[in-house]
Amino acid sequence: MEIPYNVEERQDTGMYNAKLGIWLFLASEVMLFGGLFSAYVFLRMGDVTGAFMSGSNQLNVPLATFNTLVLISSSVTMIMSWVSLKLGEQKKFKTYLGSTLVLAGVFLVVKYFEYSAKFHHGIFPETSTFFAIYFTLTGLHMLHIIGGMIVIFYFLVPGAKMMKLESERFTNRIETVGLYWHFVDLVWIFLFPVLYLL
Amino acid sequence: MSGHSVEDIKKSVKVYIGVFAALAVLTVVTVAASYLDLTSGESFFLAIIIASVKGTLVAGYFMHLFSERTAILAVLGLTFIFLLTIMFLPYMALTDHPAV
Amino acid sequence: MSGQPDTHHEESFWRKYIFSVDHKIIGLQYGITALIFLFFGFCLMMMMRWQLAYPEEPMPMLGWLFGENGVMLPEMYNSLGAMHGTIMIFLGVVPLAVGAFGNYFVPLQIGAPDMAFPKLNMTSYWCYFAGGIVMIVGFFVPGGAANSGWTSYPPLADIATTGQTVWLIGMVLLITSSLLGSVNTITTIVQLRTKGLTWMRLPFFVWAQFVTGFLLLLAFPPLEAAGVLQLMDRLLDTSFFLPSGLVVSGEILNVSGGGSPLLWQHMFWFLAHPEVYVLILPAMGIVAEVLANNTRKPLWGYKSIVYASTFLGFMSFIVWAHHMFMTGMGTTISAFFQATTMIISVPSVVILTAMFISLWGASIRYNSAMLFALGFIPMFGIGGLTGLPLGIAASDIHLHDTYYVIGHFHYVVAPGTIFALFAGVYYWFPKMTGKLMNETLGKVHFWLSMLFINGIFMPMFVQGLAGISRRLWDGGTTYAHAADTLWLNEVMSASAWLLGLAQLPFIYNLIKSMKSGEKAESNHWEATTLEWTDAPSPPLPHRNFEVIPEVHRGPYEYSVPGADKDFTPQSEA
């Protein structure tokens, strides 16, 4: 049984199903991170001990700046991989999507060094409310990165068969993965100044 | 979007590269701005404004929101309203607290 | 689709009934699981009612559950209270209203072969199932199940026994499930409406599910965030909800402090108020279907009901702090939430009034489904109107956390939503199984339920106005101000147990009719909507319709003047 508009766009809404689906999912993600940002604002405004100021000063800004650039680059390679598919350049697609995966890996490695440096200095989530929200937000963001990497890996290796069999459907899938990936980038764009710079 | 022709897509590649450059520059700017001698309120607004610009670029170009269907924009508009609600109403309740 | 060769092939038992991707099987899975949980949650309440009516007397038959001499310990009472609330809402009513009815009938009513994402649908059910199992596991961990109330307010919940951690993990699974479900529902309604089915031709049930989908989608994530924060507090010793200098058992708690218990309350109620409308909107949707069908005339004010329900959904996001008037909020913000709360009562009244007016001039068919739908209207009316004094900051001071509150929201959910769900079961049972339910047993079920459910909840208003707190283990025996109304405890408890007995005809009816009920025709109720007019009973596996129908008119064209019969199907050209 075929479900309509799985691949092709519905005329009056102008969307295929997964596109609306992923955007709805992202909307709920906005609210998830929104809830955590709200917790950040709430705790920061109620903070009388200065834990947020001093905590934020202990974070490593250069590393995070580097990571921001890494993540932005991964977003660009992600969109380029979709462009390559659109233009029918399947080899380029693999290169770009592979680069996205590598850049995501770089992000995680940098994050690993950041975390272990903190643990090394005896800084843990329980140290203060600032570090509690820092580890929660970055940790949850990292889980999103890892989730994205799994999906990207799937489309790069085991799922790549579809590229030749159902190329339009595959392009749609890459577009939705891309939307998710840009969202993860977007979250980091806000996390970075809020946690590291303020 | 999937309706785009090959020509359009080739053109948009240039846009993507431009956006990438802008994002990189803005990242450096926001780090630099954090070293300026500003009050916490001022630096907060500066950082949020820069982040919002970056966010708009990503959402608008990479996620194609500038040319997206109204249905999706409507969903996101609704989400944005509720985002503002959850962000600021608890905070307003906190500051309206006589005890604080 | 229709013209293509039949791709139907024999599926294994597991694929067909357990890990099915057919929305109808998944809907039934949801329905059966949710009914079992509803009954389980009901049993927890019946045990609580013993303790309230006869405090410190050993419970007959079930006393062995509570160890020494069969008397319920306060901790146990608290566990039962917390789990009754959680199970009824998150494992019973919402899965039944949205997971079961939504899943089963939205695709059928919009003429779609299935939900937009069948595999996601299956995942959603299994997340729900896992969440339910985790919740049950809570009863067997040291210290028993979560006992900090269904609201899980910190700091209490932060320092509670292990059961609370289990509760949080269960909630994360349930939230994931409803998130996947809502993405699916909304996408299905937007994308898979059949040809000719414009927005204003949707049956109201579909509209209700659509709005509900948005509530689940956008209101649940902040609670998920809060759940994660509370898990951090409990497992990694953070202090999100623990203020500095908190004293527990005479000692200052060894945490960094700096958190705020109010933060939890905001994030919790940001979900939990829209959740109220998640409970009530699908119920209204079902009632609208049943009313229109059995009054044999169009629903009065269809458009105004649709607009009212979307407005209701929107407003439900900005009223939550009326649960927090007693937290010491300032007058400005209290006034804001009080105003929005008063505003949100308007669309509810619009919907209820429209349903009420729909009855005017009708020659009503009093079948079991219609009785439950008719019961819904005054019961929800009582529940809704008693909410107004709670929404006004000044009167809330007196009523807050008393039995009045319990009475109020139970009137909305129990004789309100659950009656509507019963109406749904009686109305759609022939469609789901191809068999008819016994009408006599259905009527017995209705009248007894109606009687006893009021016997439980009406006295609660009296006790609440007398000032009896909702969380007392002994029902208030130690309070002088409670003395005058204590006798009501026995009335309520007896009603509760009798209500339990009154469900037996329903359970018997359900099982008996499923096995050997009279065969139903495909459009047994002579309805107009697509699930009745164009799909056989039960609908075809994996594609629902022989031919995907087209829609030519609105959903409730009953008794059209000049028509040859008193219903004109949506798909009739």
Q: pLDDT averaged over chain A?
A: 94
What region does C237 belong to: left with phi over 0, alpha with psi -120 to 50, or beta? Answer: left
Contact B85 C263 (CB under 8 A): no
What pLDDT shows up at residue B1? 44
φ, ψ of residue C400 in degrees (nearest 5): -50, 135
φ, ψ of residue C318 in degrees (nearest 5): -125, 30
Residues B12 and B48 grouped into a single domain: yes
Q: What single-letter amino acid sits at B81?
A: I
Query: How far apart are the C-alpha atoms of C448 and C504, rounded to whole Å?
Result: 11
Domain spans in chain C, listed from the N-terminal domain onward: 21-243+256-533
What residues 60-89 of chain B have any CB closer than 8 A to a CB of chain A?
Answer: 62-63, 69, 71-72, 75-76, 78-80, 82-83, 86-88
Residue pLDDT, tens place only, C469-494: 999 999 889 999 999 999 999 999 99
Residue pLDDT, tens place only, C522-544: 999 999 999 999 999 999 988 89
SS3 C141: coil
Lowest-confidence region among B58-62, C8-12, C92-96, C454-458: C8-12
Residue pLDDT, tens place only, C264-292: 999 999 999 999 999 999 999 999 999 99
Residues B61 and B98 grouped into a single domain: no
Residues B80 and B46 grouped into a single domain: no
SS3 C251: strand
What pLDDT shows up at residue C534? 94
Instruction: Provide mean pLDDT across the span C361-387.
Output: 96
Over 90: is that where the pLDDT of B9 sits? Answer: no
CA-to-CA separations, C173 to B72, B76, C126, in angstroms, rounded: 27, 25, 9
Contact B83 A34 (CB under 8 A): yes
Q: Is C230 near chain A, with CB under 8 Å?
A: no
In this predicted model, which residue has the larger pLDDT, C65 or C47?
A: C47
Q: Is C57 near chain A, with CB under 8 Å?
A: no
A115: tokens are 């975390």
Residue of C nearest to B78 (CA): C314
A42 contacts on C by Cβ (under 8 Å): 260, 263, 266
Residues B57 and B98 grouped into a single domain: no
Q: Is B6 near chain C, with CB under 8 Å?
A: no
SS3 C53: helix
Residues B76 and B47 grouped into a single domain: no
Query: How far apart are the C-alpha atoms of C428 and C101, rounded to whole Å?
Result: 9
Contact by Cβ (8 Å): C330, B98: yes
CA-to-CA separations, A164 to A159, A161, A167, A170, B6, in angstroms, rounded: 11, 6, 6, 9, 19
Residue pLDDT, tens place only, C412-449: 999 999 999 999 999 999 999 999 999 999 999 999 99
Residues B41 and B6 grouped into a single domain: yes
Residues B57 and B89 grouped into a single domain: no
Residue pLDDT, tens place only, C218-233: 999 999 999 999 999 9
- Cα–Cα–Cα angle for A26, A31, A32, nearest 5°? 90
What pLDDT shows up at residue A46? 87
What pLDDT shows up at residue C222? 96
What pLDDT shows up at residue C32? 96
B12 contacts on A by Cβ (under 8 Å): 83
What pLDDT shows up at residue A1? 60
C238 contacts on A by Cβ (under 8 Å): 125-126, 129, 132, 136
Q: Which of A23, A169, A177 to mutate to test the interface with B (most CBs of B within 10 A)?
A: A23
* Listed residue (A27, A28, A40, A26) closest to A137, CA to CA: A40
Min Cα–Cα distance to chain C from A154, Å: 17
C569 cis-preceded (ω within 30 degrees of 0)? no
Residues B48 and B77 grouped into a single domain: no
Instruction: Provide mean pLDDT across the span C184-202.
Output: 96
Query: How far apart are the C-alpha atoms of C35 and C64, rounded to whole Å?
Result: 26
Residue pLDDT, tens place only, C307-325: 999 999 999 999 999 999 9
Lowest-confidence region among A45-49, A81-85, C40-44: A45-49
Residue C277 has, within 13 A of its CA and on its CB side, a CA count of 36
Contact by Cβ (8 Å): A94, A75: no
Lowest-confidence region among B5-19, C34-48, C411-425: B5-19
φ, ψ of residue C142 in degrees (nearest 5): -55, 135
Residue pLDDT, tens place only, C489-511: 999 999 999 999 999 999 999 99
Domains and CATH numbers, chain A: 30-197 (1.20.120.80)
Residues B58 and B97 grouped into a single domain: no
Instruction: Provide mean pLDDT across the span C348-358.
Output: 96
Instruction: Provide mean pLDDT across the span B5-29.
Output: 91
Contact B85 C317 (CB under 8 A): yes
C314 contacts on B by Cβ (under 8 Å): 78
Over 50: is that where the pLDDT of C11 sits? Answer: yes
What pLDDT shows up at residue C100? 97
Residues B80 and B34 grouped into a single domain: no
Band the pLDDT of C9: cuts 50, 70, 90: low
Residue pLDDT, tens place only, C548-568: 999 999 999 999 999 999 999
B20 contacts on A by Cβ (under 8 Å): 72-73, 75-76
Q: B100: domain range?
A: 69-100
Band the pLDDT of C65: cuts 50, 70, 90: confident
Residues B13 and B37 grouped into a single domain: yes
Q: Which of C7, C121, C256 to mutate to test the interface with A (most CBs of A within 10 A)?
A: C256
Over 90: is that where the pLDDT of C573 sits? Answer: no
Band the pLDDT of C6: cuts 50, 70, 90: very low
Residue of A nearest to C189 (CA): A17
Residues B20 and B50 grouped into a single domain: yes
Q: In chain C, what percentage of residues exceed pLDDT 70?
A: 98
Residue of A nearest to C228 (CA): A136
A35 contacts on B by Cβ (under 8 Å): 86
Which residues face C544 on adjacent strands?
C540
Over 60: is that where the pLDDT of C7 sits? Answer: no
What pLDDT shows up at residue C483? 92
C239 contacts on A by Cβ (under 8 Å): 126, 129, 132
What pLDDT shows up at residue C374? 97
Contact C218 B92 (CB under 8 A): no
Q: pLDDT averaged over chain C?
A: 94
* Listed residue (C471, C556, C1) closest to C288, CA to CA: C556
CATH 1.20.210.10 fits C21-243+256-533, yes or no: yes
Q: Is C276 near chain B, with CB under 8 Å?
A: no
